[in-house]
């Protein structure tokens, strides 16, 4: 199959066997089956094209033209990580998709176990967990990630453990002679009544060439668990980022995903929240800041499978220059899911006449006793507000920046972990506001 596959599909991305990579845990039937099924699915569906409805506006030819290789070195990047933030976290570092003990903390708080995926795959402890959250209509990159299932991090939070410090997973891509790809795969299992903040960041250190960050994080929340999952995507401006976050929630859980997309040239996120137990809440809070010719496509899906769940989705986009953003927000309310309360908003702010936003809710409601509201806007800054500020002496350009910051800040305000909220506020202040009015918000 390999030769034919390469010719017909693309040279861009190779399955592990074609890249001659031996995978950890190989030989276990359950794992071999998981990987080979994914590989077959990958071959069958092939990389998406604009002829696929879900990729109609996201052309990945630029990505396909690249010749990627998997990078197996994991240099010491602690110096670069030192100034990243000024608050305390339990830090786990994945360098080029590989769990890096050197760069990670060795102090793991009580009630948590943190392990590299590669090590965990030595036995069958993840059987039935790994891959259990993935949707059936997934795209080829997710299958490619599963086919690789090489490394990443497995975080297990014990029942009733309440973590004071957040756990931070930093995806670092380092420099290489040619374009590289990583397929990090993470699994987060939150025990009953546990509570935690988990921050996932992606950054690059000296990565001057193109790279593809193809990551998948699965989240399983057991009864009563409360999780805030933050994804701060800050990849290099020439990076491709394809990320999946798949969340399964049991009863009385609350899981909120915050999806902050800043970096990358071509970005696609698939965020799925499966409400599988009653009394649960799924939150999706998203922010896209596009500039230059960035392309960011967020595909979200909230599935209400059972009664009495709530969901709240709030996505905002600010596009400058020639950037482009696509939002697809699917809400499924199954026939049994009575008393559902689902809300979705997507507001897009265009700062340039060359920027383009495309927003589409997709509602599939099979129950009759539900509240489901959605709304989308695409527009420029409100001229009335601009004039109001100007009439108070604020320069037009400053007024524009103030209003843009205010727009962005509504998403940042929803971040409940204060140090991260402050970090992002300060960052956007610096990027969006002139010095003269920055301190106003201090």
Considering beta carbons, is residue 214 or 346 the nearer one to other proteins?
Answer: 346
What is the 3 state secondary structure string of 134-184? Answer: CCCCCCHHHHHHHHHCCCCEEEEECCCCECCCCEEEEEEEECCCCCEEECC
Distance in Å, CB of 60 to other proteins, minimum = 35
Considering beta carbons, is residue 211 or 314 the nearer one to other proteins?
Answer: 314
* Residue of 276, 228, 218 lying closest to 252 (CA atoms): 276
Give, for 386, the enclosing helix (H) or strand (E).
helix 383-391
Considering beta carbons, is residue 107 or 384 the nearer one to other proteins?
Answer: 384
Distance in Å, CB of 398 to other proteins, minimum = 7
Distance in Å, CB of 312 to other proteins, minimum = 17
Distance in Å, CB of 287 to other proteins, minimum = 13
Considering beta carbons, is residue 84 or 394 the nearer one to other proteins?
Answer: 394
Considering beta carbons, is residue 87 or 387 the nearer one to other proteins?
Answer: 387
For the record, the structure tokens of 30 come out as: 């359950």
The C-alpha angle with vertex 247 and arms to 112 and 325, in degrees rounded to 5, equals 120
DSSP 8-state class, residue 280:
-
The residues of the shown chain that bind other proteins, judged by CB under 8 A, are 382-385, 387-396, 398-399, 402-403, 405-407, 409-410, 436-437, 439-441
Considering beta carbons, is residue 333 or 381 the nearer one to other proteins?
Answer: 381
Q: What is the DSSP string of 324-367?
A: EEEEEEEEEE-TT-TTEEEEEEEEEEESSTT-EEEEEEEEEE--
Distance in Å, CB of 283 to other proteins, minimum = 20
Distance in Å, CB of 143 to other proteins, minimum = 41
Give 6's contacts (C-beta < 8 A, 6+ positions apart).
14, 18
- Rg (C-alpha) for the chain, rounded Å, is 21
Q: Which residues pair with 330 in a beta bridge?
A: 301, 362
């Amino acid at each position: 199959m390999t030769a034919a596959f390469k010719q017909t599909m693309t040279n861009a991305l190779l399955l592990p066997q074609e890249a001659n990579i031996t995978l950890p845990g190989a030989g276990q039937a359950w794992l071999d089956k998981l990987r080979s099924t994914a590989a077959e699915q990958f071959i069958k569906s092939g990389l998406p094209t604009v002829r696929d409805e879900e990729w109609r506006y996201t052309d990945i030819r630029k990505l396909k033209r690249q010749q990627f290789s998997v990078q197996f070195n994991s240099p010491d990047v602690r110096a670069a990580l030192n100034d990243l933030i000024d608050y305390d976290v339990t830090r786990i570092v994945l360098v080029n998709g590989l769990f890096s003990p050197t760069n990670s903390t060795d102090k793991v708080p009580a009630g948590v176990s943190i392990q590299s995926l590669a090590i965990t795959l030595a036995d069958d402890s993840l059987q039935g967990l790994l891959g259990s959250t993935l949707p059936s209509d997934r795209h080829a990159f997710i299958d490619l990630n599963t086919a690789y299932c090489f490394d990443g991090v497995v975080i297990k939070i014990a029942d009733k453990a309440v973590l004071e410090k957040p756990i931070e997973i930093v995806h670092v891509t380092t420099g290489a002679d040619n374009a590289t790809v990583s397929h990090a795969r993470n699994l987060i299992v939150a025990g009953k009544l546990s509570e935690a903040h988990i921050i996932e960041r992606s950054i690059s250190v000296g990565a001057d060439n193109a790279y593809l960050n193809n990551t998948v994080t699965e989240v399983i929340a057991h009864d009563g668990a409360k999780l805030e999952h933050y994804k701060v995507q800050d990849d290099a401006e020439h990076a491709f980022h394809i990320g999946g976050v798949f969340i399964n929630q049991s009863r009385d859980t609350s899981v909120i995903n915050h999806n902050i997309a800043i970096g990358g040239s071509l970005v696609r996120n698939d965020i799925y929240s499966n409400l599988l137990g009653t009394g649960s809440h799924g939150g999706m809070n998203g922010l896209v800041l596009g500039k230059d010719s960035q392309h960011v496509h967020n595909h979200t899906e909230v599935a209400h499978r059972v009664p009495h769940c709530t969901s709240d989705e709030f996505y905002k986009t600010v596009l400058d220059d020639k950037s482009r953003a696509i939002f697809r927000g699917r809400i499924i309310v199954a026939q049994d899911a009575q008393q559902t309360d689902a809300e979705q908003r997507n507001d897009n702010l265009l700062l340039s006449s060359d920027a383009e936003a495309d927003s589409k809710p997709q509602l599939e409601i099979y129950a009759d006793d539900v509240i489901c509201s959605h709304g989308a806007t695409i527009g420029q800054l409100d001229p009335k507000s601009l004039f109001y500020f100007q009439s108070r002496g604020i320069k037009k350009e400053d007024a524009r920046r103030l209003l843009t910051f205010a727009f962005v800040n509504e998403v940042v305000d929803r971040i409940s972990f204060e140090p991260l909220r402050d970090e992002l506020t300060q960052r956007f202040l610096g990027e969006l506001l002139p010095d003269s009015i920055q301190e106003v918000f201090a």
